[in-house]
Amino acid sequence: MSSSIRRCSRAEGTLHLAEATVRRLEPGEEHYNPKVLYRGRKQATSEATLSAAESGKLLAHGMATCMILGG
C-alpha cells in the first residue's frame, strides 16, 4: 500500500497499517488495486485491495497512513 505513496515522495515512515485477509489465498493470478486517498505535505493515506483475477472476488484489503520524510 505504501508503494503508491512512495511514487510521490523520497521516503516515508509508516504511522498506521491495517490489513485483513477475507478469503484463503490460492496460487494464481490476482489483481492488486492501490489508491492514494489523501496526500498532504507531511502525511498520506492509501488503501489497496487484492482480488482474484478469474472470479473478481475480494481476497484481502488494507489501509496505510504514512509520514512523508524529505519530500
pLDDT at 70 over 90: no
For the chain, domains (ranges, CATH) are: 2-69 (3.10.129.10)
**pTM to 2 decimal places:** 0.74
Q: What are the tens digits of pLDDT across the range 53-69?
A: 989 999 999 999 999 88
Q: What is the mean pLDDT of the chain?
A: 85
The pLDDT assigned to 3 comes to 53
pLDDT of 2 above 50 = no
Percent of the chain with pLDDT over 90: 62
Q: Using CA atoms in the order 28, 26, 58, 52, what is the torsion angle rounded to 10 degrees? A: 10
